Chains A and B, each alone.
Chain A
Amino acid sequence: MPNKGPKGRKNIILVFSILLFSLALMSISAKQQEGLSFLDSLAGLILSPFQNLFTQSVQSVSDGIDHYFDLVNVSKENEQLKLEVERLVHEKNELIERISRQKRLAGLMAYQDDRKKESLVASVIGRDATQWSKVVVIDKGSRHGIKRHLAVVTNSGVIGQIIHAGPTTSKVLLTIDSRSAVDSLFQDSRVSGVVVGTGEEQCEIKYVPNTAKIKVGDRVLSSGLGGIFPKGLFIGTVSQVVKKKQGLFQEITLAPSSDLSKLEEVLVFLS
């Protein structure tokens, strides 16, 4: 009983210290994000070699698992033959992967030429470290000319913007992240709105008046306002429209231009 007092006080002091430290971090980073970006850079520098290694080994590991299940019931007589087939399949997969990568890169290059903007092709090497944020890590950083607030696209359209550029890697905030907002307009009706992330697989378009004629399948483009995304980039397609009797604005759900969970190569607009 006599020990409970000091121990309790110690716990209270600890709780307040953690609260104060965390709140101080939040307010400092909210005010001067650049000031604390060394932490991001340091974490990126430490993790990026491991991320590269793990990403490259994914394909071979998944191939290994697939082939393991195929080979469980193979008899000894056929083992050599199966291994030969496996080697050929592996080679074929590698070639298919190379061809599909070339196709994707050609698509990006054609898109790059069409836009006539200085840009850089980057590969996705990592994803968000928490469940809640929708961020990907790319293998190009400030050494390659990347800086904050540059637009990131694929040949399908907008996917996000750079929120942090380390020396060799950068973080891209995807349009589906709840912190993302992109000024936009509907391609047909030219009504404007703001595309915001929901933290899930889809986006919402806010501030579209109830009087505007919007239907499922309408295409949404970037408006060029805000200075990050050039005008006319495809953001996504309307997948649901809800008009409420009360309220000024419609509730519109948007399917992003590409499947953001399967990004491999992206294009960063450098200006």
Chain B
Amino acid sequence: MIHSMYYLAQILIVIILFSIQTTWLGMFSIGGVVPDLALIWVVYCSVHCSRAMGIGSGMMIGILQDSLSGGLLGVNTLSKSFIGLFFSALKDKFYVEGVIPVAFFMIVSSLFDGLVFYFSMNTVLEGEVATSFLYQALPAYSFYNGMVGPVLFIVLNRLENWLKLKTLDPYMARGK
């Protein structure tokens, strides 16, 4: 019961992140570019949760993002699942904490996310994305995610600690 409350709270965080992404975030756009909160959440989950949850959240967030973007399903599912898998494997080998490592890995995952979109659109799907996307929108998007990522990581870390204290057994929460 206590565990289910913890997971329910995490689902609520995802819903709130998506709501912010689709409403408020436009106010903070720089040249039409906004950060991808869902991507940051997937990287956060992969680094802080179990391998299964990292990959699972990547897949679920990807499907949700595909559903909300009105395009063909699969593009975000593919990129977010791979990002989940990559960071779940990476967390045992590298130290993904602190501002600079998080910013660096956010930039790398954003580049990967954009490249998957670009190649999917230009090969598998109907659309056609201009090459300027690769040297204009994509670097700006990656840099923006690299800036916002560490901040959101700190907020999510504090929120998660608070959630664990409130919903999990205090002994277990301290152990984690």
Contact = CB atoms under 8 A, between A and B. Distances in A.
Interface of A: 11, 14-15, 18-19, 21-26, 28-30, 33, 36, 39-40, 42-44, 46-47, 50-51, 53-55, 58, 62, 125-133, 135, 137, 163-164, 171, 173, 177-179, 196, 198-201, 261
A19 B33 CA distance: 28
What 4 A-B pairs come out closest when comparing CB atoms? A26-B74, A22-B78, A129-B68, A25-B74
Contact of A22 (B25, B55, B77, B126): B77
A196 B32 contact: no
A130 B77 contact: no
- Interface size on B, as a range, is 35 or more
A105 B16 CA distance: 30
Interface stretch (B1-9, B129-137, B148-156): B129-137
Given A23-B78, A28-B73, A178-B127, 14 more contacts: A11-B89, A15-B82, A22-B75, A25-B77, A29-B74, A51-B23, A54-B23, A127-B25, A129-B18, A129-B64, A130-B76, A137-B22, A171-B70, A199-B130
B125 interface: yes
A199 B129 contact: yes
Contacts, number: 150
Contacts of A50: 15-16, 18-19
Given A14-B55, A163-B70, A58 B137 contact: no
Contacts of A23: 74, 78, 124
A29 B22 contact: no
A58 B128 contact: no
7 contacts: A21-B59, A22-B75, A26-B124, A128-B22, A129-B21, A135-B69, A179-B125
A200 B137 contact: yes
A39 B15 contact: no
A46 B63 CA distance: 14
Contacts of A201: 32
A239 B38 CA distance: 35
Nearest to B117: A132
A54 B19 contact: yes
Given A128-B22, A198-B130, A43 B64 contact: yes
Interface in B5-63: 15-16, 18-27, 29, 32-34, 36, 38, 55, 59, 62-63
